[in-house]
């Protein structure tokens, strides 16, 4: 038994007019043209994205002279001392640990609070439901830099300026709008019959959420969680204002790299700078590479009801 895989425009009856055959031929050529155009566009986009990453990685093993004289060649030797200076002398190891602590706790807090808020807004009808939802969504349109000054004074008055706790709380608050927006649409796609069956079996609202709905929303939670991790990991403005100079022991990775960049302007330690950037980039590349299927599954599941 064979399967006919001929495109629809080619399966024309023998009695088809010449005009119909010509139209089918034009359609086939257009599809082939746009397919090739999209492939070329993806190749160009890949080069634009991967080129700087490869250059940074190669530069992390070079001397300053090699970086400026032969930027696109392989390093003459692997200078691991660049990585050692970035990790120890520039304290990138300490800053990375701080980033892992801050981003890890804030992501857990964001996902817990955001998923509960999104579930209630998506599955329960009550007065003010839409108002609260749009209040969350409006946070997506609020620029971070407009709130930096009042946020600085609020965190200072709470006694949390320069602390990891203050930074974690601010990260959570600024990540909630996107989390609630995405997960609200996702929770609406979950079957109501499963929730009703669980309620009939005696499950309360809390048990229904944690034991039934959250496992069903696993792909969506993973997708949003990864986006929050990437966004918080690369955050720079908030740490600079909320953990200023004088609190270097609580600095995160982006602040440490900025400090190396400032020092590099005087000491020309470009190898350590590029090594620090590579150290900062690698974890996010690994996380996305490992979780890419879950991210794509969550995005497609949340887009179709």
In degrees and rounded to multiples of 5, residue 72 shows phi and psi of: -105, 5
Same domain assignment for residues 224 and 278: yes
> Can you give the residue range of the structural domain that contains 109?
82-303
Same domain assignment for residues 130 and 179: yes
Same domain assignment for residues 165 and 61: no
Give the CATH number, domain containing residue 120.
Answer: 1.10.3720.10
Highest mean pLDDT among 6-15, 229-238, 268-277: 229-238
Asked if residue 74 is part of any domain, the answer here is no
pLDDT tens for each residue of 144-165: 888 888 899 999 999 999 999 9
Asked if residue 242 is part of any domain, the answer here is yes
Same domain assignment for residues 107 and 43: no
pLDDT value at position 5? 45
Q: Using the predicted structure, report yes or no on whether residue 9 has a pLDDT greater than 50.
A: no
Q: Per-residue pLDDT averaged across 203-209, rounded?
A: 84
pLDDT value at position 297? 65
Same domain assignment for residues 175 and 248: yes
Same domain assignment for residues 24 and 45: yes
Same domain assignment for residues 163 and 251: yes
Same domain assignment for residues 160 and 288: yes
Q: Round to whole Å and give the CA distance between 220 and 302.
A: 7
Same domain assignment for residues 54 and 107: no
pLDDT value at position 305? 44
Q: Using the predicted structure, report yes or no on whether residue 208 has a pLDDT greater than 80.
A: yes
Give every CB contact of residue 136 below 8 A, 6+ residues apart in sequence.
117, 121, 176, 177, 180, 181
Asked if residue 75 is part of any domain, the answer here is no
Same domain assignment for residues 54 and 115: no
Same domain assignment for residues 271 and 168: yes
Asked if residue 10 is part of any domain, the answer here is no
Give every CB contact of residue 98 below 8 A, 6+ residues apart in sequence.
164, 250, 251, 252, 253
Asked if residue 194 is part of any domain, the answer here is yes
Same domain assignment for residues 177 and 134: yes
pLDDT value at position 4? 47
pLDDT tens for each residue of 69-127: 887 888 888 888 888 888 887 788 889 999 999 999 999 999 999 999 999 998 888 89
Structurally, the chain folds into a number of domains equal to: 2
Asked if residue 259 is part of any domain, the answer here is yes
């Amino acid at each position: 038994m064979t399967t006919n895989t001929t495109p629809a425009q080619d399966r024309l009856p023998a009695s088809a007019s010449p005009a119909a055959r010509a139209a089918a031929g034009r359609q086939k050529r257009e599809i082939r043209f746009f397919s090739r155009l999209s492939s070329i566009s993806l190749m160009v986009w890949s080069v634009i994205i991967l080129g700087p990453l490869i250059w940074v990685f190669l530069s992390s093993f070079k001397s300053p002279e090699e970086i400026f004289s032969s930027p696109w060649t392989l390093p003459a030797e692997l200078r691991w001392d660049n990585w050692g200076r970035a990790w120890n002398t520039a304290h990138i190891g300490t800053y990375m640990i701080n980033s892992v602590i801050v981003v890890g706790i804030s992501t857990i807090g964001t996902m817990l609070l955001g998923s509960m808020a999104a579930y209630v807004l998506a599955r329960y009808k009550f007065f003010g439901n839409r108002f609260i939802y749009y209040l969350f969504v409006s946070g997506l349109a609020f620029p971070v830099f407009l709130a930096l000054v009042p946020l600085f004074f609020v965190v200072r008055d709470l006694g949390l300026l320069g602390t990891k706790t203050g930074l974690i709380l601010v990260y959570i608050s600024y990540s909630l709008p996107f989390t609630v927006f995405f997960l609200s649409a996702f929770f609406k796609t979950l079957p109501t019959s499963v929730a009703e069956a669980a309620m009939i079996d005696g499950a309360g609202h809390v048990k229904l959420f944690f034991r039934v709905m959250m496992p069903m929303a696993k792909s969506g939670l993973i997708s949003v969680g990864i986006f929050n991790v990437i966004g918080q990991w690369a955050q720079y403005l908030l740490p600079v204002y909320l953990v200023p100079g004088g609190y270097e022991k609580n600095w995160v990775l982006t602040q440490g790299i900025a400090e190396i960049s400032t020092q590099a302007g005087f000491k020309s330690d470009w190898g350590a700078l590029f090594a620090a950037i590579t150290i900062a980039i690698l974890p996010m590349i690994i996380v996305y590479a490992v979780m890419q299927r879950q991210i794509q599954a969550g995005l497609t599941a949340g887009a179709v009801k």
